[in-house]
């Protein structure tokens, strides 16, 4: 069943399959509308996944700051989410 990420009236990502990790849907890179993502300077570190890089979402004339993240160089146990993108910050994730 397809999964969709929407914010502020726009579809940010849509995929037939995502990878679920810790309750978050990680969308494959090709399923994300990169035109809605703006690189952020925010980074975080997870002991088992590695360092995450963030994006803000630009949609419907508004910005959702640091609402998406990815692991471009994950630790070995998180290799299955390399370059996938997850969302939070009021982004709606629904099965369609």
Contact 51, 58 (CB under 8 A): no
Full pLDDT tens readout for the chain, 96 residues: 899 999 999 999 999 999 999 999 999 999 999 999 999 999 999 999 999 999 999 999 999 999 999 999 999 999 999 999 999 999 999 999
Positive or negative, the CA dihedral 39, 44, 88, 90 is negative
Coil vs helix vs strand at 89: coil
The residue extents of the domains of the chain are 3-95
Concatenate the DSSP letters of all residues of 12-79 into one string: EEEES--EEETTEEEB-GGGB-GGGEEEEEEEEEETTTEEEEEEEEEETTEEEEEEEEEBSS--GGGG
Those residues with Cβ within 8 angstroms of residue 16's Cβ, 6 or more apart along the chain or in another chain: 2, 3
User: Which class does domain 3-95 fall in?
Assistant: mainly beta
Instruction: Return the pLDDT at 73.
Output: 98
Instruction: Return the pLDDT at 1.
Output: 86
């Amino acid at each position: 069943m397809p999964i969709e990420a929407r914010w502020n009236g726009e579809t940010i990502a849509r995929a037939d399959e995502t990878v679920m990790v810790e309750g978050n849907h990680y969308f494959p890179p090709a399923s994300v509308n990169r035109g809605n993502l703006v690189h952020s300077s925010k980074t975080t570190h997870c002991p088992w996944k590695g360092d995450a890089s963030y994006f803000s979402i630009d949609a419907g004339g508004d910005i959702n700051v640091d609402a998406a993240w990815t692991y471009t160089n994950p630790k070995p146990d998180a290799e299955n989410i390399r370059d996938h993108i997850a969302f939070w910050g009021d982004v709606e994730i629904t099965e369609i």
